[in-house]
Amino acid sequence: MSVFSEVPQAAPVAVFKLTQDFNNDQFPNKVNLGVGAYRTDEGKPWVLPVVKKVESIIVNDTTLNHEYLPILGLPEFRSSASKIALGDDSPAIQENRVGAVQCLGGTGALKMGAEFLRRFYNGNNNTKTPVFVSAPTWENHNAVFSNAGFEDVRPYKYWDAQNRGLDLAGFLGDLESCPEHSIFVLHACAHNPTGTDPTQEQWKQIAEVMMRRKLFVFFDSAYQGFASGSLDKDAWAVRYFVSMGFEMLCAQSFSKNFGLYNERVGNLTIVARDADNLKRVLSQMEKIVRTTWSNPPSQGARVVAVTLNSPELFAEWKDNVKTMADRVLLMRAQLKAKLQALGTPGTWEHITDQIGMFSFTGLNPNQVEYMIKEKHIYLMASGRINMCGLTTKNIDYVAESIHEAVT
């Protein structure tokens, strides 16, 4: 009898299961619209040219070694990462009230933030503070916060399925009616999975209620640069909230915008009221990291730090990011045009209104099943598709299949 005989089998993670099913499918023209990663027009992963260049700089740098990094991570990575989130001229940075923790991807940054907040926010070890995540949201948000000990993780209204857009009234209503000091996880840009972000005017309304009602903002910034092609535009909401005087956390992922998925590069930016508060927060962050991964890996963080700290490489990176963003925009425009040309029932404006890597097609679970079973086109049951799964070669097949699925 094994000591593990009572361990229940856990359900597979949906997005990884989908890719496994896709890999097992023998159909020659199969399409994977499920993956959460960038693909070229050849359907291949893309190592950014600037990353290749920086990797060779690093490998030839004889001053580098494999000593442990500091517990909080590579200093030049942490500061440059916070700087692209908050802006070069951020008064909060100049006032020495911004700090950061290098984390294992955006997920690690969310996890560190969640662990810290559960221990120290709104009363020590207050597991009852509600944590609100958007409905729908990236599937991992709920579990990251509940696994960190929060017992009350709830959805806030976000997606208006009828109008395929933001449910602003519902969102503001939830901000008005929730308990004071609740934590809200906000997608900084390119909302996953809906591809629908508030406008700047809407963000201002959201911030006004959050400030008045003493709500805590935890930004999740996993797609900076990907939404619009501009780092500054995509950081607008984060910077606006900082300018309004919020103390906050911001989890940054460099998986997508640097294509460094498996290097696990993330940063948790902390904006505190003043340098003294920041110092105590960082001292506790250090304790949490020490018992979690002790200190972070260096390779990916070095690639990002070298790139962000050189004006030439930084410019080249911005260009690479724009290449990715532009391909997504092109696929959006083409998919919409093809569906409209086919006369597919329904409106398809949302395909180009939505931004970032993902689009919420509006396909229902039966239509999704038809796409997978009959057409060998793999997408999430929610109807979410990764626009990068589309290429100039498969887009006609995908558009025709969507047409068949809805008619």
266-293 burial code (b ≥16 CB/10 A, e <16): bbbbbbbeeeeebeebbeebeebbeeeb
Q: Given the complex with ligand PLP, which of 217 and 402 has the nearer CB atom?
A: 217
H/E element holding 156?
strand 153-157
- Nearest Cα to 235, choosing from 280, 267, 200? 200
- Token pair 């950061």 in the structure block, residue: 100
374-401 burial code (b ≥16 CB/10 A, e <16): ebbbbbbebbbbbbbbbbeebbebbbeb
Q: Which of 30, 111, 157, 256 is catalytic?
A: 256
What binding mask, one character per residue, do residues 164-193 give for ligand PLP by CB under 6 A, x or -? Answer: -----------------------x----x-
3-state secondary structure of 104: strand
Pairwise CA distance, residues 107 & 49, whole Å: 25
Q: Given the complex with ligand PLP, which of 104 and 278 has the nearer CB atom?
A: 104
Among this protein's residues, is 157 annotated catalytic? no
H/E element holding 220?
strand 216-221
Among this protein's residues, is 138 annotated catalytic? yes
Look up residue 230 and give its DSSP letter. Answer: -
Q: Which of 167, 174, 197, 220 is catalytic?
A: 220
Q: Which of 46, 138, 236, 317 is catalytic?
A: 138
Q: Is 102 a binder of ligand PLP (CB under 6 A)?
A: no
Q: How far is the CB of 324 from ligand PLP (least distance, A)?
A: 15
Q: Given the complex with ligand PLP, which of 192 and 298 has the nearer CB atom?
A: 192
H/E element holding 176?
helix 168-177
3-state secondary structure of 195: coil
- Bridge partners (DSSP) of residue 32 are 378
Part in contact with ligand PLP (CB under 6 A); list of ranges 88-96, 105-113, 343-351, 371-379: 105-113
Pairwise CA distance, residues 312 & 324, whole Å: 19
Among this protein's residues, is 203 annotated catalytic? no
Q: Is 113 a binder of ligand PLP (CB under 6 A)?
A: no
Kindly state the greatest CA–CA separation across the chain: 63
Question: Which residues between 193 and 232 bind ligand PLP (CB under 6 A)?
Answer: 220, 222
Q: Is 255 a binder of ligand PLP (CB under 6 A)?
A: yes
Q: Is 386 a binder of ligand PLP (CB under 6 A)?
A: no
3-state secondary structure of 380: coil
Q: Given the complex with ligand PLP, which of 107 and 367 has the nearer CB atom?
A: 107
Q: Taking CB positions, which residue lies at the least distance from ligand PLP?
A: 105
Q: How far is the CB of 234 from ligand PLP (least distance, A)?
A: 13
3-state secondary structure of 359: strand
Task: Compute how many residues bind ligand PLP; rule: CB under 6 A.
Answer: 12
Part in contact with ligand PLP (CB under 6 A); list of ranges 83-91, 104-112, 161-169, 382-390: 104-112
Give the active site residues: 138, 220, 256
Binding site for ligand PLP (CB under 6 A): 36, 105-107, 138, 187, 192, 220, 222, 253, 255, 266
